[in-house]
Amino acid sequence: MTTGKSIMLRGLRKAWGETVSLKGIDLTIPEGKFTTILGPSGCGKSTTLRIIAGLEEVSAGTVEIGGEDVTSRPASGRDIAMVFQSYALFPHLSVAENIIFGLRVRRMGRAERDAKLTAAADMLGLSYLLDRKPSQLSGGQQQRVALGRAIVAEKSIFLMDEPLSNLDAKLRAEMREEIRDLQKRLGVTMVYVTHDQVEAVTMADQIVLMNQGEIEQIGSPRQIYSRPETLFTAKFIGTPPMGTCSARALGIARDDITVGIRPEALVLDQNGPIRARVGHVEYLGADAMVECRVGDETLPCRISGRTELTLGATIRLSVARDDLHAFDSASGQRLDTLPPEFAALSAAQTTAPLGSHASSTER
Amino acid sequence: METARRQWIYAWLMLSPAMALLILFTHYPAVQTIVNSFYSTPRGRRKAVWIGLDNYQTLILDDVFWKVLMNNFWYAVWTIPLSILLSLAMALWVNDKIRGRGFLRMAYFTPTVLPLIAVANIWLFFYTPGFGLIDQIRGLFGLAEQNWMGSPDTALYSMIAVAIWKEAGFFMIFYLAALQTIPPSLREAADIEGASRWYYFRRVLFPLLMPTTLFVSINAVINSFRLVDHIFVMTEGGPNNASSLLLFYIYEVAFDYWDTAYAATLTVVMIAILILLAIGQFFLFDRKVHYK
């Protein structure tokens, strides 16, 4: 079918009066790939998407689609289709009319129009709903109609603005898969805005993490998870997010460094170099989350659900060298090489079997 | 059994105050009007007597009745569509993000706030031959003086203009309120599909405004029979009944000539017309109206 086009944003700035929403975005979105723009609310991700769509004007910078500068081109001339958070279905039109709305605008012939409608409706399982009004559909069905409208448009780029946020959890998981499949099948370039990191991580080829109008990090889900470039990324990605504490709490005499350790990277180890006290334990079934108190700070640790720890007990923990992340406390930037002092933290590591709490707990 | 009956009594007691008022001041007079139309007008010691359809025969033979009915027809034909179109256009304009939007909205609504009697006085000045506003402007272009309200050709249309000016601002408020409930994402979705402004209006905006249009048009129909205050101030139906409307004629017959029975007959006809129009509108529009 259609092939995707790449999108390139250069020096994108957007301000409404005094409020600066985007502070210079440089971003390349590769063709035919699934890119999610992720970030907390108010970080400028929706604005970025709306600028790509041509619904919002830029204050400075350029937008290129497929190598062409489209900064001043209207939305209809950008070869894009968009699915809105509210779906933006026309309430007085039937499902069929909603889907072919754009084809009617372009005065497409009846036969061709009907063929496209049938194909899209079959693909989305909407065939038996074509005569209904949007108000007679469930949230998931409405979502599919909005997708149908984007599919029949046969554009190279799909833009989606938090399309799943109005659905319940079960449906969301289903639609996630469906949208991912759809993108692969159509081969379009997908730009998907979300504040939900699970959506971003499960669906994306590339994640663009934004914060306060700037890009924090661009990378594959794996890169972003395993090698966060900033403290913000480290704390934003992962459920629960990465635990952080000052280097001093771990017995390293450096005040300018913040240490990050993922909960699953912290393991109980009777010879481990990190001494901690057991704080609150949250039992989750298969595993449990333990608040480990190191100094005055806490690090979360994920242990097997079968291990029982007593509140207030002293435990020893270790962490693999590769799982240690160090950040500059002032700038939040990742330190590329671990300072030598950190060798002590992972040197004494011996892999102790998980769940043998009797051996790893000192009373 | 006993409690059921008690609840009935309770229900009727609760309803009775409102019902008493409605029956006393709405239903009874309405029925009485219909009854009166079959009797003669009581004068002095002569009581009203049953005269059957005599009043209706008089009505059919009454030239003035047919004249005012035609006047009212043209009054409706011009005021209803023009005031609705104008109000819709104004609402669409002040719904956009434009400079001085608040001021414009207020300016459009002002005619509605002003009493029609006061409005009539303003327009009296506009229409005055010679030094009225319209003639002054015409004078700048070397056009002759025109007696807008004094000429049988223009008197009715002068009244129509005042009514449209008065009504459009009022209807605009309803359209404006309806426009604000339409999410902007619909416009954006249409933009992405390449729909022109006109296409979007025709296929999306106007159909979504249909409930408002129905409401406004029924009001406009009622107003086209009801809004006659300015005629009292400006022309008193003249010259030669050129600007007289049905309701104004009823008033004249009832309170100038004191022919109350004939006035009752005219009232019955007017109410019948209004009911027919309202029912017609509901049936005509209802299938086309999409309610959310």
pLDDT digits (tens, 9 = 90+) for B137-180: 888 888 877 788 888 888 888 889 988 988 898 999 999 999 99
Please check the confidence at residue A356 and state whether its pLDDT lies above 80. Answer: no
A58 close to B169: Cβ distance less than 8 angstroms: no
Chain B residue with minimal CA distance to A106?
B194
Shared domain check, A180 and A41 = yes
Instruction: Return the structure tokens found at B270.
Output: 């007017």
CA distance A200 to chain B (A): 24
- pLDDT band at residue A275, thresholds of 50, 70 and 90? confident
Which chain A residues are Cβ-neighbours of B204 within 8 angstroms?
Answer: 90, 92
- Residue A75: list chain B partners with CB under 8 A: 188, 191-192
Which residue range forms the structural domain that includes residue A247? 234-362
In angstroms, rounded to a whole number, what is the distance separating the alpha carbons of residues A244 and A266? 12
Residue-level pLDDT at A238? 86
pLDDT, residue A351, reads 46
Same domain? For A157 and A15 the reply is yes
Instruction: Point out the residue among A105, A133, A149 whose CB comes nearest to the CB of B199.
Output: A105
Asked whether A218 and A48 are in contact (CB, 8 A), the reply is: no
Question: Does the residue A2 lie in any domain?
Answer: no
C-alpha to C-alpha distance for A202 and A200, rounded to whole angstroms: 6
Residue B115 CA to residue B19 CA, distance in Å, equals: 31
Is residue B241 domain-resident?
yes
**What confidence score (pLDDT) does residue A361 get?**
41
pLDDT at A1 over 80: no
Residues A226 and A136 in one domain: yes
Residue B249 in domain: yes
pLDDT of residue A146 exceeding 90? yes
Q: What is the pLDDT of residue A360?
A: 41
Residue B276 in tokens: 């027919």
Last residue within a domain, chosen from A214, A230, A246? A230
The number of domains in chain A is 2
In a domain, A1, yes or no: no
Chain A residue at shortest CA distance from B292: A91
Q: Give SS3 for A21.
A: strand
CA-to-CA distance for A199 and A176, rounded, in angstroms?
7
- pLDDT at residue number A2: 55
Do the Cβ atoms of A75 and B188 come within 8 Å?
yes
Q: Which of A88, A102, A135 sits opposite B186 (nearest CB)?
A: A88
Residue B46 lies in a domain: no
**DSSP label at residue A205:** S
Looking at the complex, report in whole angstroms how far the Cα of residue B288 sits from the nearest Cα belonging to chain A.
Answer: 10
User: Mean pLDDT across the stretch A219-233?
Assistant: 92
Cβ contact, residue pair B188, A84, below 8 Å: yes
Gap from B195 CA to chain A (nearest CA, Å): 6
Interface contact flag, A88 B185, Cβ < 8 Å: yes
Calculate mean pLDDT across residues A298-303.
90
> For tokens 């993490």, what's the residue?
A209
- Residue B280 within any structural domain of the chain: yes
Distance, in Å, from the CA atom of B76 to the CA atom of B88, rounded to the nearest integer, reads 18
Nearest chain A CA: its distance from B107 CA (Å): 28
Contact B199 A75 (CB under 8 A): no
Cβ pair A105:B189 closer than 8 A: no
Tell me the nearest-neighbour CA distance from B92 into chain A, angstroms.
Answer: 19
**What was the pLDDT predicted at B1?**
64
For residue A331, give the H/E element and its range: none
Q: Across the interface, which of A88, A90, A106 has its CB nearest the CB of B188?
A: A88
State how far residue B206 is from chain A, nearest Cα, in angstroms: 11
* Residue B244 lies inside a defined structural domain of this protein: yes
- A246 and A187 housed in the same domain: no
The CATH number for A185's domain is: 3.40.50.300
- The C-alpha atoms of residue A276 and residue A26 are separated, in whole angstroms, by 43
CB atoms within 10 A of CB B276: 10
Residues A177 and A52 in one domain: yes
- B208 to chain A: which residues are within 8 Å by CB? 90-92
> Is B140 within a domain?
yes
Count of domains for chain B: 1
Establish if A329 belongs to a structural domain. yes
The reported pLDDT for the residue numbered B187 is 92
- Residue A256 is assigned to a structural domain of this protein: yes
Q: Tokens in use for A161?
A: 């603005």
Q: What are phi and psi of A34, to 5 degrees?
A: -100, 110
A246 and A339 co-located in one domain = yes
- The burial class, CB within 10 Å (0-12 / 13-18 / 19+), for B137 is exposed
Predicted local confidence at residue A343, as pLDDT:
76
Best residue of B188, B192, B199, B290 to probe chain A, by most A CBs closer than 10 Å = B192
Handedness of CA A51, A54, A58, A61 (dihedral sign): positive
Compute the distance between CA of residue A30 and CA of residue A253 in angstroms, rounded to an integer.
44
Q: A28 and A69 share a domain?
A: yes
The DSSP-derived string for A100-138 is: THHHHHTT--HHHHHHHHHHHHHHHT-GGGTTS-GGGS-
Say what the pLDDT of residue A313 is.
87
Verify whether the Cβ–Cβ distance B185 to A106 is below 8 Å: no
Interface of B with A in 170-229 (CB under 8 A): 183, 185-186, 188-195, 199, 203-204, 207-208, 210
Confidence at residue A350, expressed as pLDDT on a 0 to 100 scale: 46
- Whether the predicted pLDDT of A233 surpasses 60: yes
Same domain? A224 vs A238: no
Tell me, yes or no, if B291 comes closer than 8 A to chain A by beta carbon.
Answer: no
Residues 143-172 of B with CB under 8 A from A: none
A262 located within any domain: yes
Note whether A87 and A203 are same-domain residues. Answer: yes
B55 domain residue, yes or no: no
Q: What is the CATH number of the domain that holds A343?
A: 2.40.50.140
Q: Which residues pair with A64 in a beta bridge?
A: A8, A69
Give the distance, in angstroms, between the CA of residue A49 and the centroid of all CA atoms in the same chain: 15
In a domain, A302, yes or no: yes
Is residue B30 in some structural domain?
A: no
| Domain span at B254 | 61-286
Q: Kindly state the percentage of chain A with pLDDT values over 90.
A: 44
Mean pLDDT over A106-128 rounds to: 90
Let me know if residue A332 belongs to a domain. Answer: yes
Q: What is the CATH number of the domain that holds B264?
A: 1.10.3720.10
Alpha-carbon distance B176 to nearest alpha carbon in chain A (angstroms) = 19
- Look at residue A357 in the predicted model and tell me its pLDDT: 43
- Among A170, A200, A230, residue at a domain's last position: A230
**Bridge partners, residue A244, by sequence:** A260
Tell whether A252 and A157 lie within a shared domain: no
**A266 lies in a domain?**
yes
Q: Which of A191, A215, A230 is the last residue of a domain?
A: A230
Give residue-wise pLDDT tens across range A10-37: 999 999 888 888 998 999 999 999 999 9
**pLDDT value at residue A352:** 44
DSSP A266-328: -EE-TT-SEEEEEEEEEE-SSEEEEEEEETTEEEEEEEETT----TT-EEEEE--GGG-EEEE
Alpha-carbon distances, residue A295 vs A60, A249, B225 (angstroms): 48, 5, 86
Distance from CA of B197 to the nearest CA of A (A): 11
Please tell me the predicted confidence (pLDDT) of residue A347: 52
Residues of chain B with pLDDT under 70: 1, 287-288, 290-292
Predicted pLDDT at A349: 45
The answer, yes or no, to whether residue A8 has pLDDT greater than 50, is yes
Q: What residues of chain B, 67 to 126, have a C-beta less than 8 Å from chain A?
A: none
B189 and A82 in contact by Cβ < 8 A?
yes
pLDDT at A346: 67
For residue A94, the chain B residue with the least C-alpha distance is B290
Best A47, A51, A52, A55 member to test B by mutation, with max B CBs in 10 Å, is A55
Residue in A53, A92, A106 nearest the CB of B192: A53
Rounded average pLDDT over A124-143: 90
A90, B204: Cβ pair inside 8 Å?
Answer: yes
